[in-house]
Amino acid sequence: MNRARIELCRKLRYTFADPALLERALTHRSRSGDNYERLEFLGDSLLSLVISAELYHRFPDLSEGELTRLRASLVKKETLAAIARDLALGECLALGGGELKSGGFDRDSILADALEAVFGAAYEDRGIEAAEELVRRLYGPHLERLDARAIPKDPKTRLQEHLQKQSLPVPTYNVLQVSGDPHNQVFVVECRIPDLSLSTKGEGATRRAAEQHAASQALERLQAT
């Protein structure tokens, strides 16, 4: 294990019993077929579960929708990438030549995916309790800073409220396309507002994420007019 990865383990306060799992978690598909994508899939589910449980117990008075929006603010790509940068995780990544030249070691999407893969690797390495502890440790400062009084509204909610103020009907959402492998799908969704002759498209790893993206695009168009 090289010096950067030894330092990463020190910052994680976690030592892998099987270092090959960490190696895989830090390897991008541009470098090898034995890459982090499957571990990322595992880590994404683990992260959602741990953060959901933390919010459930920390905020007993919040509704399901409010908890969902708080969770989204924590597990989003930007938050994961910020944590990864604090760990200097980018210095540990194994990338192909093209990704190295294009700055992939500091790209939000790659950093976020790799950190989720590290969570998945910890689960495979020592089981769920050790992996949960790792997630809680890294997310501790973010959880402590959460303000339930400032819960962000998601784009679909904000778009609906915007239209209701103008006495317009709510938009409709239609799935236009689903592509990719079952564990790595991409959804394309259309948001239509017939009364305004407005239609936008959004993409995401889930139908919900694609709907939110499409709603966000619609909001931008409406606010620009």
Write out the binding residues: 40, 113, 116
Is residue 44 part of the annotated active site? The answer reads yes
DSSP reduced 3-state for 93: coil
Give the separation between CA 186 and CA 180, rounded to whole angstroms. 6
Give the separation between CA 166 and CA 145, rounded to whole angstroms. 36
Residue type, 80: L
| Residue positions forming the annotated binding site for Mg(2+) | 40, 113, 116
Give the separation between CA 98 and CA 81, rounded to whole angstroms. 20
Continuous H helices in 59-87: 64-75, 77-86
Q: Which two structure tokens, joined as six digits, stand for 225? A: 């007019």
The single residue of 37, 44, 190, 211 carrying the catalytic annotation is 44
The single residue of 23, 37, 99, 116 carrying the catalytic annotation is 116
Give the separation between CA 56 and CA 122, rounded to whole angstroms. 23
Is residue 154 part of the annotated active site? The answer reads no
Q: Are 161 and 81 in contact (CB under 8 A)?
A: no
- Paired with 179 in beta bridges are 186
User: Which residues are designated catalytic?
Assistant: 44, 116
